[in-house]
Amino acid sequence: MKVILVEDVKKLGKKGEIIEVKDGQARNYLIPNNLAIEANKKNINALNAKNESIKRSESQNQELALKLAKQLEKELIFLLTPILIFLKLDHLRLWICIVNMVDVILLEL
């Protein structure tokens, strides 16, 4: 009998897999303990729809993560860009200080 595993089962397979098991094992152990459901057309179609939904969701999450990474990269470049500050102490010496926005933010704290 073909069944769809609802949970990971040792020595049989992982959640979502369609496997072939003996009828007795399916009817007496897997199905009553909610470890598997019968692999009929309705359940297979539901599994396929669920897998497609998960793939779509993962794809959208990946696109969002890439957009956020690009935006964060631009902000980090701004924060880490060195800024030259010239400090004149007297007419003989000129002090040059190189800081970035992170240093400025830390000074404000």
Tens-place pLDDT, residues 23-43: 999 999 999 999 999 999 999
Q: What's the pTM?
A: 0.57
Fold of 2-70: Ribosomal Protein L9; domain 1 (3.40.5)
Q: How confident is the model at residue 104 (pLDDT cuts 50, 70, 90)?
A: low
Buried b (16+ CB within 10 A) or exposed e, 42-77: ebeeebeeeeeeeeeeeeeeeeeeeeeeeeeeeeee
Q: How many CB atoms lie within 10 A of CB 36?
A: 28
What pLDDT was estimated at residue 68?
83
Q: What are 46-102's pLDDT values in tens digits?
A: 999 999 998 998 888 888 888 888 877 777 666 667 766 666 666 666 666 666 666
Indicate if the pLDDT at residue 103 is higher than 70: no
pLDDT reading at 22 higher than 80: yes
Alpha-carbon span 102 to 106, nearest angstrom: 6
